[in-house]
């Protein structure tokens, strides 16, 4: 990690708090005036009472706002803000935050299979200093891939030790269930992380995710209608289970399968998606 900047961070926090006191409406997360209620699980669901991540805050800014959604469980929003502050304190530049969930969750058809419960968030793996960009430029931002075009490794021009710092910080967030990244990124962590490796089991390989990490949080307390998936295995995962992903690169492409209709949402989501807490 690079050296902390506690003094600078303290000044930043003071300025930000001052903005809150001076009634800057975009500075704090806005929550829908209804009880928080998550219904569903990995197969689909929805959320009432979600909060919206402000467009910017200490250590982060949102990108692609015209085609993205930034609503989530208040704990998810707070965790993302914590990640940004901790990353900044560790010497990283401002983070780019992207999709969380729609205002009431539910499908993000054609974009994400998950992100339905307000418990998922995409954070870009861009640890370069960020220039000041116009809203239009932020809206059209493309972040470079960390993975080589053949999918077999990380690009040495793009990879940096700060990526390890950011991924490690993500695994330490309250309520964090797992972090999804491309198998080549997981493989790189397996190679370079020294000392404490106990957090590696929370970094899970998945398709895509070459330029961003997908954070998934567990069902928060007090949400009996929210269903978790089984926790990730408590092993590093730097083994044959990771090799499997690279063997798939050599396999002939599977014949296209007919599109499957999405699974129906839980019945209680009908009312929630229509605009009420459904209770
Ligand atoms: Zn995602």
**Ligand 1 centroid distance, CA of 19 (Å):** 31
d(CA 54, ligand 1 centre) in Å? 18
Question: What percent of the chain has a predicted confidence (pLDDT) above 70?
Answer: 88
Q: Give residue 181 CA to ligand 1 midpoint distance, Å.
A: 10
7 CA from centroid of ligand 1 (Å): 33
C-beta neighbour count of 198 within 10 angstroms? 10
pLDDT, tens digit, 9 for 90 and up, residues 149-167: 999 999 999 999 999 999 9
**What is the band of 19 on the pLDDT scale with cuts at 50, 70, 90?**
very low
Q: What separation in Å is there between the alpha carbon of 18 and the centre of ligand 1?
A: 33
- Ligand 1: centre distance to CA 269 (Å): 21
- Nearest partner of 49 among 212, 226, 190, 188, judged by Cα: 226
- What does the pLDDT read at residue 16? 46
pLDDT in tens, 218-250: 999 999 999 999 999 999 999 999 999 999 998
Quick check: 35 and 279 in contact, CB under 8 A? Answer: yes
Measured between alpha carbons, how far is residue 115 from residues 24, 40, 90, 137 in Å?
29, 12, 28, 25
pLDDT of 167-183, one tens digit each? 999 999 999 999 999 99
Distance of CA 64 to the CA centre of its chain: 15
Ligand 1 centre and the CA of 192: distance in Å? 25
pLDDT, residue 52, reads: 96
Q: Which residue has the higher pLDDT, 112 or 52?
A: 52
Give 193 Cα–ligand 1 centroid separation in angstroms.
24
Distance 120 CA to ligand 1 centre (A): 6
What pTM, to 2 d.p., does this model score? 0.87
By CB atoms closer than 10 A (0-12, 13-18, 19+), residue 39 is: buried
Centre of ligand 1 from the C-alpha of residue 221, in Å: 22
Each residue of 190-202: pLDDT tens digit?
999 999 999 999 9
């Amino acid at each position: 990690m690079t050296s902390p900047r506690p003094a600078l961070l303290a000044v930043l926090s003071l300025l930000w708090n001052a903005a809150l006191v001076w009634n800057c409406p975009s500075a704090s997360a806005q929550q829908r005036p209804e009880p928080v209620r998550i219904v569903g699980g990995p197969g689909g669901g929805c959320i009432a009472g979600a909060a919206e991540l402000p467009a910017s805050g200490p250590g982060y800014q949102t990108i692609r706002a015209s085609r993205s959604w930034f609503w989530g469980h208040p704990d998810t929003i707070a965790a993302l803000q914590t990640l940004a502050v901790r990353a900044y304190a560790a010497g990283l530049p401002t983070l780019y935050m992207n999709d969380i969930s729609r205002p009431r969750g539910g499908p993000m058809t054609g974009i994400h299979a998950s992100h339905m419960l307000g418990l998922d968030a995409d954070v870009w793996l861009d640890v370069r200093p960020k220039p000041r960009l116009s809203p239009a430029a932020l809206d059209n931002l493309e972040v470079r891939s960390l993975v080589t075009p053949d999918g077999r490794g990380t690009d040495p021009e793009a990879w940096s030790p700060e990526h390890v710092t950011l991924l490690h910080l993500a695994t330490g967030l309250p309520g964090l269930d797992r972090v999804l990244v491309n198998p080549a990124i997981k493989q790189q962590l397996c190679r370079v992380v020294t000392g404490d490796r106990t957090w590696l089991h929370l970094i899970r390989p998945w398709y895509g995710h070459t330029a961003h990490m997908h954070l998934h949080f567990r069902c928060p307390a007090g949400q009996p209608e929210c269903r978790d998936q089984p926790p990730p295995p408590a092993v590093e995962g730097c083994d044959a289970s990771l090799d499997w992903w690279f063997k798939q690169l050599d396999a002939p492409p599977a014949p296209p399968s007919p599109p499957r209709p999405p699974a129906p949402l839980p019945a209680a989501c009908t009312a929630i998606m229509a605009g009420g807490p459904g209770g």
